[in-house]
Structure 1
């Protein structure tokens, strides 16, 4: 076919799309949050368009001739607080939208309505960011992976290497984060997660199911425990009660199929299944590991009546990571020398029951989580002899959790309180060759049962004119691992937040709090070769956090904020072997925590964050942030602080997406991060044959921990989208190019064995390999073509 015929065909196709395209309708219902009764005469506007409708006696509204796109709605009525909804996509299957409104604390004669996408929360007036649908869908360089979207925000470092999703928030480690899905806690949000931490190469949650995300980098709510650095609270979409639809997506690393709709008049559903082809992408890139995964998720919600509803959800994944033994090159040779084969299965099932009783809402949340992790490694990847076996780990973590919660609201006051109960079962069978000063074998089996319990309460006050807010919270946690951990009062976690409006649109806010986290199951269940639990004396890790910030909203579309923070860690688990805190580990594949530890390390992280956001509905989403900080630790109560593994010193992100006419959009992201500190290698120890064969990589000289620093790194990502909205279909295309300039990240040169023994006549314990140095530099242009089709 000639070029002219192809051009003619595409022109005719675009003309057909234009003829078939149409504007759409939005329909929904507005109810009183307390009484659950419909509200009449509510004005409902599409933000950014100035068009809207009014509710009838049944609380229903309808807005016609709405251009396709992603919008929020604003609902207003005298006597009620103005409500702004999360973002919804308007197309041929726009869902029926439910809006809940709260009565004003006092009757007002006149009301001035100002719609704003920036929400303020009494319990977290600082350190809270709300991420909407448009940002999740179109963030440049993120490929619809929420972990990468979060990296646009202040205080969040990113992995310059590009194939890890570790969340490093305000100088804290990747093991210090917690995740919730519609109120159900999930252990991690990544495939191939590092056991004992949270990172991996790709996200576990399908972006098609997410409505929005509350990202807390501090000031955590009292009902969200066991976190030191961040909490990600996901809100999933509800299934559509008017239509049944199917959506297919071909993305960066997987193909997905999702559906949403309803069963009968009371029950809605969401379901998603994804299959990866990440192993093919990694093979093309010449990476030494080939990950493949499958995941599935669902949500079913039943409204029995206006006062009672039940949500059941599930999330699961199957992961298989093979080694790419067929590639050449020193970089690949090095990584293949230590990377294990990994097999994982993980799932979480949960149910949330809510009862609305006027001023009070009771919630019961029950969930069960499961992780089965297996790591296998042979010397030189030679499986022909069991004598070459260096690592065989089989570990299962299971958690069953129950949370009972009540929320009550009276005018300017809001009270939340509840309790949590949990039962954990952890098993581990490990065979591992370890070299410290000499070779020894770690060979043990663990079966650990743990009971956990906690109490929480918070009281919020919001003045009638919303110029002042205050929140006082308290939480306490305990478990039966040791006599010390049983004492609930030792883990008392108070917190206080206040916010005051200095001028119109200008707020001064602050927060102080104390938080606790239980050590990882891998640490609690670690045993010596004699069968004893080695880490019985471990304690909860604590961090006190203080933050103060100014937020200015010059108008309803812009926000400028400056926030300072200080975090002080105590009782951090410290490795007896190398003298490094566990929090400085976890950004590589495998397991952390399975070693002898003592709760003696201290740490601190402090800095300042600046952010500017500009949101124009269905036109512009611009976000820029700069963080200047330090992250340090020391091994006891005295001595000098050393840089932690996450002490990058500064992070800069500028990300924006602009929507052009005819449903084109272009996004760009510029990111820059300071150089990471690194530790020189212990050449003498690394060259020992026994030492190298035990772990297949060099050993660090911890007496010079993080005494060197890499150069800074920056990259540019670009994304282009085109969406066709038809009467019964939606078809979208996008191209996302990460690191379009091909920037190179300079990493620490690797010390590696040549496989040649320098002194073969020496005793085996004294034999050494001839070593070589490999220059480490990474960074490649990574283009991705994505296609979405929704019917």
Structure 2
């Protein structure tokens, strides 16, 4: 906190220029289907308090630049003959040039009767999406309280989306397991982009994805277009932005979540090539290395980085090399805790050493083949790894007399290794698509995703007798995942769009094949900016890769892979929606949905177990023999009331009422782990500008939701397995109390002539509400006959601060 106060003092004492501070705005304007440059398109900036005219025309490469625009928030308007007008907000700061990349839609008819309407704010980039989709920007991930600059945590503010755990960024989309979430970058499916990511999960405590390198991206929640496969829940389609083509810019940030640096600029100004590169390292581990104690020895150590090199080609084409990755380690040493306490760090009976790493590097080629055809191709190599070691503790109690009072402490008598594992996945991925505009009314897109994967898993655990180790995994295998697709859009008239597509999926490891998965979408525009939408689709997904190689043993002691042939989990999505846009960025949207899941893996023996409940937290899953006979269903209704940021304030109110049920192999319908029944988010913010170059932003977020489900503990089985085992009878009939959290965010920004200073404080769970997360296995040393359980609470009050500086160097 002392460092934070010093940075505030530094910023307030900085040299503040009285002259008008300006900055450049640059970007591109292209056709949203063919990506062909719209040469001659007019781009104008309208400022709130200026009579100056700021405008530019788009050149042959689709680029424009508007120089000397005053700092502040303005309105940018792009127009082009026979295209719909685009209007977006743009923020101009002194330390970095503002970059805007616009895609414009062609009118269906060129008649005087057709009214040209600007694209609605928040509308997705993918033209094939009609329902349950949302565009998000870097500004949103920065502006929303509690989001921690993380796309997943930001998405938890959307209707139908909620976080599964305050300390992680797993998200539950419409009652589905977080396992159903997919991350894509530049068309490629990437491994879990989170630090401390458990095998098979899609989240973690800290995101490897740094929002500063992202452009505007899409998030899909249901019935997504045919080009997206291997997901039954949601899809993040992330876009990496290019670096500045004309000037070198630098960003430095010091904060609770990490200390980071970023640089971008031209490689060759004449050829308009650019670079952007960044790196981050955990601030807490820096403190520890300097000998500064921070209250715990279990300090997470992590680092990550990302880059993109972009080489523009003629007529809007580009060749780019990009990559991102991260590595993390943590040691939780219960053996060093001598004070008797009910708090649980990890598991209360062992020391744990855990680490992960992830990386992906790719080569992308994009080229408008003609004014009507656009080609995209990406080749990428990715890898992820998780490793862990657990050491079981033999502990007893010591009783001592200190200052005349009895004091009980814990003594560790012996430590021996309980288990250890190391999982590797390496993947070579290729993506190819061809987008062709037949004419103004008919558009077709076809392509294919191919993944070649190599898995090498090794895992062993101490036997119950304690005199030998048993292999749970000793598996190495290569396999492929192939996903061709085709999708079509028909702009029937200026009011109605229809989309249709087919997705196919083949997985060689289990010889699973899903042929001709249909995807349908419909959008109808009514008067007064009202829109009706509907969508449906069949989706399928592989199981977590590590589950296919789990070893079980027959009567003769031979290892058998009972679950190697698990089929895809499948889900039928349907959704209908209504949306109305008002003036000044005000928007109301409602959606209703129904999802039927089938082919869900469940145990062969009669039980409540189902993979539909897996995917959140740090626990892996060791299944008995599984079969694809489980089912599930999710249905609900969602409401969004939103004012996009304009006139210096914004707000977002979302509410969801839903029901999420499943059936295991015993045929009994139960609540899923995520069936909280309702979620409500209310957030908003206001920016106050003064002296022309300073601003203070205040944000507030309130979340309330139904509590998580849980069952009754099988005490004897839990003590034998040394982990929690729940009874099938009554599973998920119990529910924790309702969840409530209040977050507050405060930002101060100072624009000097060449530098932008920004100081932020994000107060997460400012009321320190003790929300329950779940139960943990924790034997009671003082009373061995007591249940070996302890309640695990969600994240308490967490102040997250940062200081950021942006500046550029002119040659």
Q: For the residues of structure 1 that align with 2:794 and 2:544, how far apart are their CA atoms?
A: 32
2:315 to 306, 321, 325: 306
Task: Report the 3-state secondary structure (helix = DSSP H, G, I; strand = E; otherwise coil) of the residue aligned with 1:458.
Answer: strand
Note the alpha carbon deviations across 1:414-471, whole angstroms, 9 max, x for none.
10111222211111111024779xx994444101111222210000112442x10110
Q: 1:117 to 1:263 in 2, by over 3 A?
A: same
1:187 aligns with 2:203: no
Aligned to 1:267: 273
1:403 shift after superposition: 1.7
Task: Report the 3-state secondary structure (helix = DSSP H, G, I; strand = E; otherwise coil) of the residue aligned with 1:208.
Answer: helix
Task: Report the 3-state secondary structure (helix = DSSP H, G, I; strand = E; otherwise coil) of the residue aligned with 2:718.
Answer: helix
Aligned to 1:520: 544
Q: Map 1:346-495 to 2 at 5 A.
A: 346-358=358-370, 359-380=372-393, 388-409=416-437, 410-433=439-462, 441-465=470-494, 467-483=495-511, 485=512, 488=513, 490-495=514-519
1:599 shift after superposition: 1.4
Aligned to 1:143: 148
Aligned to 1:745: 771
Q: 1:441 to 1:70 in 2, by over 3 A?
A: farther
Does the CA-based 8 Å contact 1:20-1:726 persist in structure 2? no
Aligned to 1:789: 805
Does the CA-based 8 Å contact 1:502-1:508 persist in structure 2? yes
Task: Report the 3-state secondary structure (helix = DSSP H, G, I; strand = E; otherwise coil) of the residue aligned with 1:149.
Answer: helix
1:580 aligns with 2:609: yes
Q: 1:618 to 1:78 in 2, by over 3 A?
A: same
Aligned to 1:224: 228
Root-mean-square deviation over aligned CA pairs: 3.2
1:68 aligns with 2:71: yes
1:655 aligns with 2:683: yes
Note the alpha carbon deviations across 1:634-668, whole angstroms, 9 max, x for none.
014x8331011111111111111211113211100
Does the CA-based 8 Å contact 1:607-1:629 persist in structure 2? yes
Aligned to 1:780: 796
1:332 to 330, 339, 344: 344
2:585 to 557, 560, 567: 557
Q: 1:496 to 1:618 in 2, by over 3 A?
A: same
Q: For the residues of structure 1 that align with 2:172 and 2:601, how far apart are their CA atoms?
A: 18
1:125 to 127, 130, 144: 130
Q: 1:168 to 1:92 in 2, by over 3 A?
A: same
Q: For the residues of structure 1 that align with 2:151 and 2:472, how far apart are their CA atoms?
A: 38
Q: For the residues of structure 1 that align with 2:450 and 2:791, how far apart are their CA atoms?
A: 51
Task: Report the 3-state secondary structure (helix = DSSP H, G, I; strand = E; otherwise coil) of the residue aligned with 1:332.
Answer: coil
Q: For the residues of structure 2 that align with 1:206 and 1:239, how far apart are their CA atoms?
A: 15
Larger mean Cα displacement after TM superposition, 578-587 or 292-301: 578-587
Q: 1:57 to 1:537 in 2, by over 3 A?
A: closer
Aligned to 1:763: none
Q: For the residues of structure 1 that align with 2:227 and 2:668, how far apart are their CA atoms?
A: 36
**Where does the alignment leave 5 or more consecutive residues of structure 1 unmatched?**
1-5, 759-768
Note the alpha carbon deviations across 1:268-322, whole angstroms, 9 max, x for none.
1111100013568999886784321110111111112225311221111111011
2:759 to 729, 733, 736: 733
Aligned to 1:42: 42
1:581 shift after superposition: 1.2
1:55 aligns with 2:57: yes
1:103 shift after superposition: 4.1
2:729 to 679, 690, 703: 703
Q: 1:780 to 1:89 in 2, by over 3 A?
A: same
Q: For the residues of structure 1 that align with 2:350 and 2:587, how far apart are their CA atoms?
A: 47
Q: Map 1:684-723 to 2 at 5 A.
A: 684-687=716-719, 691=720, 694-695=721-722, 697-723=723-749
Q: For the residues of structure 1 that align with 2:768 and 2:309, how far apart are their CA atoms?
A: 44
Larger mean Cα displacement after TM superposition, 502-511 or 774-783: 774-783
Q: Map 1:1-20 to 2 at 5 A.
A: 13=13, 16-19=15-18
Task: Report the 3-state secondary structure (helix = DSSP H, G, I; strand = E; otherwise coil) of the residue aligned with 2:16.
Answer: helix
Task: Report the 3-state secondary structure (helix = DSSP H, G, I; strand = E; otherwise coil) of the residue aligned with 2:13.
Answer: helix
Q: For the residues of structure 1 that align with 2:55 and 2:608, how far apart are their CA atoms?
A: 65
Does the CA-based 8 Å contact 1:755-1:770 persist in structure 2? no
Q: For the residues of structure 1 that align with 2:451 and 2:45, how far apart are their CA atoms?
A: 44
Note the alpha carbon deviations across 1:232-272, whole angstroms, 9 max, x for none.
11122211011111101123311111111120033211111
Normalised to the residue count of structure 1, the TM-score between the two structures is 0.89
Q: For the residues of structure 2 that align with 1:171 and 1:348, how far apart are their CA atoms?
A: 30
1:82 aligns with 2:92: no
Normalised to the residue count of structure 2, the TM-score between the two structures is 0.86
Q: For the residues of structure 2 that align with 1:567 and 1:645, how far apart are their CA atoms?
A: 17
Larger mean Cα displacement after TM superposition, 54-63 or 203-212: 54-63
Q: 1:684 to 1:28 in 2, by over 3 A?
A: closer
2:567 to 520, 539, 557: 539
1:255 aligns with 2:270: no
1:65 shift after superposition: 5.3
1:173 shift after superposition: 0.8
Q: For the residues of structure 1 that align with 2:297 and 2:663, how far apart are their CA atoms?
A: 35
Q: 1:103 to 1:112 in 2, by over 3 A?
A: closer
Aligned to 1:606: 635
Q: 1:125 to 1:299 in 2, by over 3 A?
A: same
Aligned to 1:3: none
Q: For the residues of structure 2 that align with 1:517 and 1:318, how far apart are their CA atoms?
A: 27
1:320 aligns with 2:329: yes
Q: Map 1:627-638 to 2 at 5 A.
A: 627-636=656-665
2:110 to 103, 107, 126: 107
1:741 shift after superposition: 1.4
2:203 to 188, 199, 203: 199
Aligned to 1:173: 177
Task: Report the 3-state secondary structure (helix = DSSP H, G, I; strand = E; otherwise coil) of the residue aligned with 2:215.
Answer: strand
Aligned to 1:509: 533
Q: For the residues of structure 2 that align with 1:512 and 1:107, how far apart are their CA atoms?
A: 31
Q: 1:445 to 1:79 in 2, by over 3 A?
A: same
1:293 aligns with 2:302: yes
Q: For the residues of structure 1 that align with 2:90 and 2:12, how far apart are their CA atoms?
A: 33
Aligned to 1:681: 713
Does the CA-based 8 Å contact 2:351-2:392 persist in structure 1? no
Q: 1:57 to 1:674 in 2, by over 3 A?
A: closer
1:155 aligns with 2:167: no
Task: Report the 3-state secondary structure (helix = DSSP H, G, I; strand = E; otherwise coil) of the residue aligned with 2:780.
Answer: strand
Q: 1:105 to 1:381 in 2, by over 3 A?
A: farther
Does the CA-based 8 Å contact 2:35-2:103 persist in structure 1? no
1:35 shift after superposition: 8.7
1:564 shift after superposition: 0.7
1:774 shift after superposition: 4.3
1:589 to 614, 618, 639: 618
Aligned to 2:652: 623
